[in-house]
Homo-oligomer: A and B are copies of this chain.
Amino acid sequence: MATLIVPEIVPSPIQDSETLKQAFQGWGTDEKAVIRVLGQRNAGQRKKITQAYQQLYNESLFDSLQSELSGDFLNAILLWTYDPPERDARLINDALKARKKGVKHLQVIVEVACASPHHLMAVRQAYCSLFECSVEEDIASNIQLPLRKFLVALVSSYRYDKEVVDMNVAKLEAAHLHESIKKKELDHNHVVWILGTRNFFQLRATFACYKQEYSSTIDQDILKCGNDDLQALLRITILCIESPEKHFAEVINSSVVGLGTDEDSLTRAIVTRAEVDMVKINEEYSRAYKESVADAVIGDTSGDYKNFLLTLLGKKI
């Protein structure tokens, strides 16, 4: 469930474009108006606004935002305003083009690959349109083994998306996974194919079987394999399949915990999930960290950036 709140009566895309244009005019920018418009519209409505704005003013809304806003607020607004497949394609491309290619940067690829199969397909189409190559091609040429093998398989999947579970398959594949993990062969074909092709319901049944048969969770057993990047990526993948809300609660918490804030991760988590499952993420976050996601945002951010994130979290600002 989404935390995004769309008002009961929504202005037309043309009216919204006019409000935005007005907010950009004259000295300074009316950031509150930008937040009030874009921060309270769903993906379909935002898309119509960007089209209407282009038609009305013969100018890209993204260019206008870029010349009027800055910093973390700008980044968050841009990500939010892109069509979700384009947004995720850009996030993946940024991760692949970043100089650092640690798991922290690459986990966005797992997050997108573990979203709905239909969305992943749309992201792959958007990636080709934007970057003149396929996402799997870019992974294969930018990421080293063994992460490469796993990530190429993950983004290439088009999983069956309905609840069809075969308990015999679950049992058999739990055994395959257990054997590979026991031998510390985390990049074994079995691991890659099972996690990279099976539908999410089937995988959840396989993980449950694993726990039942071997009295520890697959996550605990992978943890015993050492502490390298593939291990970390596999654990993120399993979490994103089993319980994405837990994964994103963890992302948000690590972005605010300690001194300083990792704004990129905080923005990504809130922008990509506000329309998907932020209510569940907030429940999970409150359970695990004894405060709400909004409290975390209030404690670690300020100004328009804070107001925008809070708006996406459904708060009146």
Contact = CB atoms under 8 A, between A and B. Distances in A.
Contacts of A198: 137
Interface stretch (A96-104, A150-158, A258-266, A294-302): A150-158
Interface stretch (A39-47, A68-76, A124-132, A307-315): A124-132
B197 A137 contact: yes
Report the contact-size class of chain A (Cβ under 8 Å from the partner). Answer: 20 to 34
Contacts of A161: 128
Contacts of A152: 153, 193, 197
Contact of A125 (B135, B158, B164): B158
A195 to B, nearest CB: 11
Interface string A146-172: 000100110011111110100001000
Contact of A133 (B140, B145, B153, B160): B160
Interface in A107-154: 117, 121, 124-125, 128, 132-137, 140-141, 145, 149, 152-153
A189 B149 contact: yes
A204 to B, nearest CB: 15
Contacts of A162: 132
Contacts of A156: 136, 153, 156-158
B132 A164 contact: yes
Contacts of A196: 136
A153 to B, nearest CB: 7
Q: Which of A121, A133, A149, A159 has the most CB of B within 10 A?
A: A133
A149 to B, nearest CB: 7
A206 interface: no
A231 interface: no
9 contacts: A124-B158, A125-B158, A128-B160, A132-B164, A133-B164, A134-B157, A134-B160, A137-B199, A156-B158
